[in-house]
Chain A
Amino acid sequence: MTLVASILPLALLGALLGLDVVSFPQAMISRPLVAATLAGALVGDPGRGLLVGVVLELFALEMLPFGASRYPEWGSASVVGGALYSTQPAASGGALAVSVFAALVTAAAGGWSMVQHRRLIARRATANRGEVTADSITALQLWGLTSDFVRGAILTGLVLLLFLPLAHELLAGWKADAALSRAVVVALAGAVGGAAVWNVTHTFKSAPWLFLGGLALGTCLLVAA
């Protein structure tokens, strides 16, 4: 009962942010940088939420929501990642790996659920085709928005219900070095993010040189810090 009660506000946040991905208002509050920070804030630690958000944002740069393509759903996924990481003890070595893994699995499940949701709406739209009226259009629009909200809530709630106890078990038996565990996650995210930036920008004239110049500047800032 306590677990369900603690998940409820997070599920509602996941629903709101899942809605933002496509349905309303597409203001990108569902991007990991924002969504995971909000989830962290909801469980009392926005700083740790942001940390997961940064890692997930690097992954999210790879899959941009072009047209009717299929892509992961980062809104609910970031809530799962941010909440999971923020509720683990700070010294836990594998917490980042487990939280990011849970978020990526949720992103994949969210992408799949969005496709199913769109098929459901299509079925309703086809059924309405004989009599397109203002009422039928408004009804379909409201049904689409409401069902997307419910989709996000169910997804976030179910994944947290599964992963909150599972993460506890996994971290209790975690034997790998804490530094290595963190390094693996960061290197993976950096690789995906770096490739994504290259893929998005390299077609523009001189952009590869600008990217390399930026890398040099960023590295200088690291050394200077």
Chain B
Amino acid sequence: MTAPPRLPLRTRAAIFLRLFAVQGAWNYETMAGNGIAFAVEPALRLLPGGTRGEAYRSAMARQGGYFNSHPYLAGVAVGAIARAELSFEDPERIEKFRAACCGPLGSVGDRLVWAGWLPACSLLALASFGLGASPAGVALLFLGSYNAGHVALRVWGLRVGYRDGLRVAPALGAPLFRQGPAYVGKAAAVIGGIAIPLAIRGVIEPEQLVTSPGQHTSFGLLPWLPIVLACAALGAAALTRLHGRAEGWRLAVVALAVFILFSVAH
């Protein structure tokens, strides 16, 4: 084993950009394995003999196998693998690392991003809609807040992965990953409570909140607002009692289909 070379800026940039497409060939056979090989490939060109060398060919063959993780944290694995390959680590150790890091990188990312950051940013944008933000304002608030976290996580992952190599596991025990989901979840709970009634009102009487020249139409629904809110609350309570046995959006498709048929045939 030798010390890995410092990655040239161009190589780091190429790996980073490729990480955005890490799930480009996601499938039920190798999952994100192909994407990992695709992302780490610019670093492997630095191996002795370049792209024509035996080291490059065997490293590429190793990296195309099964791999799965949260896409935003795939950079941790890619950085660590790049360092390990460029340090001529034992191939068996590299393959063991690939197999071992799938679970932690998946569960940490799912809890922090899919169950925390994404709903929190979405609810923040819904609240801004309810408070009268413009269409561009709502979209930019969501994209800006969400991607600030998203891109930061990808940058951190690649940096830490290459810095620590196959010993990157302790980095996943950082306070952000241990306590972050709880803080974000609590914030999402407060924002969600505020956002949902405001968003419902915003959809009910949009002419007060959404400005579209020449499209001002009142449905006279504002007096119905307490009834709509009560129905939504009862429906939400009923759905939570189902404990995932039925998906609400599928039930909504059926309910809407029945309502549309009733409205046309009535």
Contact = CB atoms under 8 A, between A and B. Distances in A.
B125 interface: yes
A22 B27 contact: no
B217 interface: yes
A134 to B, nearest CB: 5
A138 interface: yes
Interface residues of B, number: 112
Nearest to A93: B219
B119 A200 contact: yes
B194 A197 contact: no
A100 interface: yes
B247 A62 contact: yes
A197 B119 contact: yes
A175 B263 contact: yes
B80 interface: no
B152 to A, nearest CB: 13
B1 interface: no
Contacts of A26: 20, 23, 71-72, 150
Interface in A23-80: 23-29, 31, 33-34, 37-38, 40-41, 45-51, 54-55, 57-68, 72
A214 B135 CA distance: 24
A1 interface: no
A67 B32 CA distance: 11
B192 A107 contact: no
A125 interface: yes
Contacts of A93: 219
Interface string B163-204: 000000000000000000110011011111111111111111
Given A48-B212, A141-B35, A218-B197, A204 B252 contact: no
Interface in A145-182: 145, 148, 170, 173-176, 178-179, 181-182
B101 interface: no
B126 interface: yes
A186 interface: yes
Nearest to A44: B212
A173 to B, nearest CB: 5
A8 interface: no
Given A91-B217, A141-B34, A170-B260, A215 B240 contact: no
Contacts of A46: 135-136, 212
B41 A197 contact: no
B252 A118 contact: no
B192 A211 contact: yes
B160 interface: no
Given A67-B110, A183-B228, A175 B249 contact: no
Contact of A188 (B56, B217, B256): B256
Interface string A180-194: 011111111111111
A54 B138 CA distance: 10
B210 A51 contact: yes
Nearest to B69: A67
B216 to A, nearest CB: 8
B28 A101 contact: no
Contacts of A132: 37, 60-61, 64
A54 to B, nearest CB: 5
A204 B247 CA distance: 22
Nearest to A59: B249
Nearest to A107: B249
Interface of A: 22-29, 31, 33-34, 37-38, 40-41, 45-51, 54-55, 57-68, 72, 90-91, 93-94, 96-98, 100-101, 104-105, 107-108, 118-119, 121-122, 125-126, 132-134, 136-138, 140-145, 148, 170, 173-176, 178-179, 181-208, 210-219, 221-222, 225
29 contacts: A26-B71, A33-B142, A37-B135, A47-B215, A58-B199, A59-B249, A64-B119, A66-B114, A94-B263, A97-B260, A104-B253, A133-B60, A141-B35, A184-B259, A186-B200, A188-B256, A190-B229, A193-B232, A195-B239, A196-B119, A197-B188, A200-B185, A204-B181, A206-B186, A210-B186, A214-B190, A214-B195, A217-B190, A218-B130
